[in-house]
Amino acid sequence: MKLKNINSDILNKVINKINDYDYNSFSDEDIKKALNKDYLSTRDFQALLSPKAINYLEEMAQKAKECRKRYFGNSVYMFTPLYISNYCDNYCIYCGFNSHNKIKRARLNFEQIEVELKEIAKTGLEEILILTGESEKYSNIEYIGKACKLARKYFNNVGIEIYPVNVEDYKYLNSCGADYVTIFQETYNEEKYQKLHLEGHKKVFSYRFNSQERALMGGMRGVAFGALLGLDDFRKDTFSTGYHAYLLQKKYPHAEISISCPRLRPIINNLKIEQKFISEKDLFQIVCAYRLFLPFANITISTREKPNFRDNIIKIAATKISAGVDTGIGAHSGCSNKKGDEQFEIADRRTVAQIFEKIKSENLQPVMNDYIYLEDN
């Protein structure tokens, strides 16, 4: 695939802001001022991500909880990922799927994919996220498109998390039933990015950065952003993710925006990957700051986090939660004799039913879907 980038000024705007961001320069007065506002400026967001703001977590949480209730009520959106292939052409040193990692590889055929989809649909979920390793050879656009068409038979909302593609490819996948694209930039520090991504198309920092905008140009309803917290300076990566989403929301006001906050987790053959420690307290600060800066955005909390943390954060700031998760290939039904190894180790293995009941017990409303996909005739 020839990488066709787009002309966009958003990358330069984000990089310039990162370079100017000194999170140690903020005072108590800056943080108090931010907490007294209904809508935050970019500088306010930076202040709430500063180390000094950790002393104001209670106030941030209260404000975030009020903001969450105002824009999302008591709704908690549920979904699950479906991994259909773990072949990958990239050498990302932190990822279990990387091309140099000696893991069991697998790629589901269409019959196996449909069996998996049927099994997941039995849980009552109506939203699914289809994932592949980043290999055009083993997971080409036609293969992913057919998987989306199958998913549309059983689910009202189909998202994809695949390798970045061109505008016309996103148009094709949208025509197949996908209407949401998730891309993690991993880190916004380009120098560090190059050291972490040693082979494959993923080496091209700018092409990956512009993926969400290409997806929206291709007709996708929404896009999701995320940095893998722990790869570099988590405060700068958090700020960059939020600012990236903010600029794209301004440019495409119709787009639905979502943020994820994944922390590094152990992978097969490298269980010591969690070297840059980011505490749950740090993560709590991050999620609250996101909620206050991007009040309309969905915030997803993944199974990388422990059950207790997930149960608490959805009451305060997060709005979307995965359930019944397995990051292996062919894991939901056991339909593949060659079940592939997992991308990373998860921390919350509860079923859909268990998480559904837990949400209800907190006087929150589990929402399986609030969107209707309309095909163009």
User: What digits encode the pLDDT tens for the residues 284-293?
Assistant: 999 999 999 9
Give mean pLDDT, residues 177-202: 92
* pLDDT category of residue 94 using cuts at 50, 70 and 90: confident
- Name 331's Cβ contacts closer than 8 Å, sequence gap at least 6: 83, 339
**pLDDT for the residue numbered 372:** 66
Residue 251: other Cβ atoms inside 10 A: 13
**pLDDT for the residue numbered 352:** 97
**pLDDT for the residue numbered 265:** 66
Query: Which percentage of the chain shows pLDDT scores above 70?
Result: 92
User: What digits encode the pLDDT tens for the residues 40-58?
Assistant: 999 999 999 999 999 999 9
β-pairing, 320-322 with 75-85?
parallel
User: What digits encode the pLDDT tens for the residues 310-320?
Assistant: 999 999 999 99
Give mean pLDDT, residues 184-206: 92
Q: Half-sphere exposure of residue 275, counting CA atoms within 13 Å on the CB side? A: 6
* pLDDT category of residue 93 using cuts at 50, 70 and 90: confident
* pLDDT category of residue 347 using cuts at 50, 70 and 90: confident
Mean pLDDT lowest among 94-103, 277-286, 356-365: 94-103
The answer to whether 33 and 61 have CB atoms below 8 angstroms apart is no
The structure's pTM equals: 0.93
**pLDDT for the residue numbered 199:** 82
Taken in order 211, 213, 217, 219, the sign of the CA dihedral is positive
The yes-or-no verdict on residue 328 having pLDDT over 90 is no
Task: State the Cα–Cα distance between residues 134 and 359, nearest whole angstrom.
Answer: 34
Domains and CATH numbers, the chain: 10-367 (3.20.20.70)
Q: What is the DSSP string of 158-191?
A: EEEE-S---HHHHHHHHHTT--EEE---B-S-HH
The yes-or-no verdict on residue 135 having pLDDT over 80 is yes
**pLDDT for the residue numbered 104:** 80
Task: State the Cα–Cα distance between residues 100 and 199, nearest whole angstrom.
Answer: 10
**Angle, nearest 10°, between helix axes 307-316 and 280-293?**
30
**pLDDT for the residue numbered 338:** 45
Q: Could you give the 3-state DSSP secondary structure of residue 98?
A: coil
* pLDDT category of residue 200 using cuts at 50, 70 and 90: confident
Mean pLDDT lowest among 93-97, 112-116, 143-147, 206-210: 93-97
**Which one has a higher pLDDT value, 199 or 220?**
220
Q: What would the two tokens of residue 194 be?
A: 């190059």
**Which one has a higher pLDDT value, 142 or 371?**
142
**Which one has a higher pLDDT value, 330 or 50?**
50
**Which one has a higher pLDDT value, 65 or 334?**
65
Mean pLDDT lowest among 179-193, 217-231, 240-254, 337-351: 337-351
Mean pLDDT lowest among 87-91, 163-167, 361-365: 87-91
Mean pLDDT over the full length of the chain: 91
Give mean pLDDT, residues 61-90: 95
CA 21, chain centre distance (Å): 24
**pLDDT for the residue numbered 274:** 46
Give mean pLDDT, residues 152-175: 97
